[in-house]
Structure 1
């Protein structure tokens, strides 16, 4: 076991000892009682070729990082959400702040995200913001919560606390969130981003009102169509794979692990087995598979057995010669997302644990 993995597992063990239970979904380990064998679980699913692909991708991300913690130099590569996802990719490999092969890169990600937080708690940089800056805020809050769970830094805690408070106070009367930090409209995509951030913050010991989560659960359930997929907004609309995968993860993040909504949602997204052409046709393909892989990981059993090998093979074939993955948003985003998906069996990050 390498040093970074040993250090990360020690951090994970301390979280579990504090009461954050973990359940591994791989079929071979379903009958196993705690403590779970993380090394064995990862070895069964992350093959040498998989690890080589991950290593090349992380090295590419490391080379693309600027001194201020951002990535690349154009488009969304300097966006707070992209930096946060890259930080999550480093964390998912067993790095912790200041420790591990990419501990320095991770520290720079943290500094960049913290520098983007204003007095209200909102985390976004206008010059590099997406069309919906609450995406930036949600992914940044999720990242800071995962970091704080490992290294309780006072600056991280203060800005994380403000970020959580902003999410809570901007929930609209339907129970969801939209592009701007205002309690006006809501859509399923921005809502899942916020509820994952709240779940991660609660895991790390911050207070999140039960009422906020209950209203969010009601919103997500009302967003589900009869076919099991999810509409974009409560005003109606067809089911689509990316937002339907996000809808299931929203329920899982809110603590709903079974029921008709989960069953029907899994049946819907199970029909969308990953294909190579998905990534060349759909701007939201990587986003959708990021959430679908989480959903199938949580579901376990046959769902996971079918899904991970399929997305694994598609991603490995799509990797570029330099180690990156191309994406219509930006290569840094695509590479970070692919790394997180492929490293799901490591089960290192509390937010991905059931």
Structure 2
């Protein structure tokens, strides 16, 4: 049974966004809302409308090759609608969120693993599990739906039990080594679950933080694995900084060096655009800037906002050649929706 008490807050926030005059210029807490321009709202609405048309009859998203019906891609699409203010059965896209939720929950196995039957055809099922768990945690945090809690708790338990000796995670629950990209997915899911009241062992978080710190290079960026892929790279470095923030590391040399590294990839620069994993990178980088606040946030969000709006296609979507437009559109929308503050994981 869902808890109705959270919905008036969401509706109040929607009204606040709709009335710019209610936000005073001298109130720093709402400074970020002045970045939500009429053009941004209009184009986010176009993106959401397009994405809603891409939902399949079973509630899933994604038609492209090996990522078709991936619960992680569907979870990211669901998060994009949650971040706009809709929740299951309420809001402009309440029905879309409900069907997404039903689909993701249908992929949950008795062990807690959220995996679809075609998993052998797509890359790294623990990616999908992490993003799907994040979606469930955000839904539960907004609704307190007991049915969601039961599935979420099992998904969290699987993450905790599959942490390996290095302190991280990799493509499958039984992997003996770790990489920072999959590890960040699990760290974000665990943080969202903790925010929603699901118990997560402190030791699990501490070991994850220790693993990420060991993967940081002297230049402030992060390598792919502790003993392989030694070069720093923007996308995974942004992800690692966010994971440290959400795991409770809010200051210190690792954060400062990580942020200094990210400053070299400001959206609009050659370093930003001419990189692989563009949407993945900006999804995490904007969250890193959001947590850092101050000058970095004030520079980063307008730059990525304007860059993404230029990249938006005429039908309202964004395109990623590898995973597909549903994934790219969901990621772009999540970046653009950070200032809304509706998702608990986006709240400082």
TM-score (norm. length: structure 2): 0.90
Match 1:340 to one of 314, 334, 340: 334
Cα distance in 1, alignment partners of residues 107 and 271 from structure 2 = 33
Question: Which residue number in structure 2 is paired with residue 146 of structure 1?
Answer: 138
Is 59-68 or 221-230 further displaced after alignment?
59-68
2:116 counterpart of 1:125: yes
Where do 1:231-246 residues align within 5 Å? 231-236=223-228, 237-246=230-239
Where do 1:180-219 residues align within 5 Å? 180-219=172-211
Q: 1:29 to 1:77 in 2, by over 3 A?
A: farther
Question: Which residue number in structure 2 is paired with residue 61 of structure 1?
Answer: 51
Cα distance in 2, alignment partners of residues 8 and 215 from structure 1 = 35
- Distance apart, 1:6 and its partner CA: 6.9
Match 1:46 to one of 24, 36, 61: 36
Where do 1:79-228 residues align within 5 Å? 79-127=70-118, 130-228=122-220
RMSD of equivalent CA atoms: 2.0
Cα distance in 2, alignment partners of residues 169 and 11 from structure 1 = 39
Cα distance in 2, alignment partners of residues 143 and 11 from structure 1 = 22
- Distance apart, 1:280 and its partner CA: 7.1
- Distance apart, 1:279 and its partner CA: 8.2
Contact kept in structure 2, 1:77 and 1:333, CA below 8 Å: no
Question: Which residue number in structure 1 is paired with residue 20 of structure 2?
Answer: none
Q: 1:209 to 1:300 in 2, by over 3 A?
A: same
Contact kept in structure 1, 2:264 and 2:271, CA below 8 Å: no
After superposition, the C-alpha distances for 1:229-253 in whole angstroms (9 at most, x for unaligned) are 0010000410000000011011011
Gaps of 5+ in 2: 1-5, 14-24
Cα distance in 1, alignment partners of residues 9 and 327 from structure 2 = 24
TM-score (norm. length: structure 1): 0.88
Q: 1:244 to 1:301 in 2, by over 3 A?
A: same
Cα distance in 2, alignment partners of residues 28 and 275 from structure 1 = 29
Contact kept in structure 2, 1:189 and 1:246, CA below 8 Å: yes
Cα distance in 2, alignment partners of residues 269 and 221 from structure 1 = 16
After superposition, the C-alpha distances for 1:112-164 in whole angstroms (9 at most, x for unaligned) are 10000001100011415631000000000000000011222222111101000
Q: 1:79 to 1:8 in 2, by over 3 A?
A: farther
Q: 1:342 to 1:150 in 2, by over 3 A?
A: same
Q: Relative contact order: is structure 1 or structure 2 higher (C-alpha 8 Å, sep ≥ 6)?
A: 1
After superposition, the C-alpha distances for 1:143-200 in whole angstroms (9 at most, x for unaligned) are 0000011222222111101000000000011110000011511000000000100000
Cα distance in 1, alignment partners of residues 235 and 103 from structure 2 = 28
Contact kept in structure 1, 2:11 and 2:85, CA below 8 Å: no
Contact kept in structure 1, 2:69 and 2:116, CA below 8 Å: no
Question: Which residue number in structure 2 is paired with residue 270 of structure 1?
Answer: 263
Q: What is the number of residues matched between the two proteins?
A: 328
Contact kept in structure 2, 1:324 and 1:331, CA below 8 Å: yes
Q: 1:77 to 1:117 in 2, by over 3 A?
A: same
Cα distance in 1, alignment partners of residues 26 and 334 from structure 2 = 22
Q: 1:106 to 1:175 in 2, by over 3 A?
A: same
Q: 1:11 to 1:88 in 2, by over 3 A?
A: farther
Cα distance in 2, alignment partners of residues 343 and 244 from structure 1 = 22
Cα distance in 1, alignment partners of residues 234 and 184 from structure 2 = 14
- Distance apart, 1:309 and its partner CA: 1.0
SS of corresponding position for 1:233: coil
Cα distance in 2, alignment partners of residues 290 and 73 from structure 1 = 22
Cα distance in 1, alignment partners of residues 26 and 295 from structure 2 = 11
Contact kept in structure 1, 2:267 and 2:303, CA below 8 Å: yes
2:319 counterpart of 1:326: yes
Contact kept in structure 2, 1:283 and 1:327, CA below 8 Å: no
